[in-house]
Amino acid sequence: MLTNVFRNFRALPFAILLIFATALPVMAGPFEDAVGKFANDEFSDTEEAIGAIATSGNPLA
């Protein structure tokens, strides 16, 4: 019984790491969202993306 508890306790950090590793890509910011609009090849989307990137405050902009 006690060995099962310790085995599960050792697996806890790996489970937490797995949760964070899968959740981080979902939390893209406005810069990353706007960059994807350039691929649509539509003038209105490109114009929106330029405005979003300019106001994002990202140093890469």
Whether 18 is covered by a domain: the verdict is no
DSSP 50: H
Residue 15 in this model has a pLDDT that exceeds 80 = yes
CA 45, CA 52: separation in Å to the nearest integer? Answer: 10
Whether 11 is covered by a domain: the verdict is no
- Residue linked to tokens 């994002």: 56
Domain extent at residue 38:
28-61
Whether 21 is covered by a domain: the verdict is no
Structure tokens at 18: 């797995």
- Residue 37 pLDDT: 84
Q: Total structural domains in the chain? A: 1
Given pLDDT bands bounded at 50, 70 and 90, which one contains residue 52?
confident
Whether 20 is covered by a domain: the verdict is no
Overall average pLDDT of the 7-25 stretch: 81
Of 10, 3, 15, 58, residue with least CA distance to 33: 58
Task: Report how far Cα 56 is from the mean position of its chain's Cα atoms.
Answer: 16
Angle at 7 between CA 2 and CA 13, to 5 degrees: 130
Mean residue pLDDT across the chain: 80
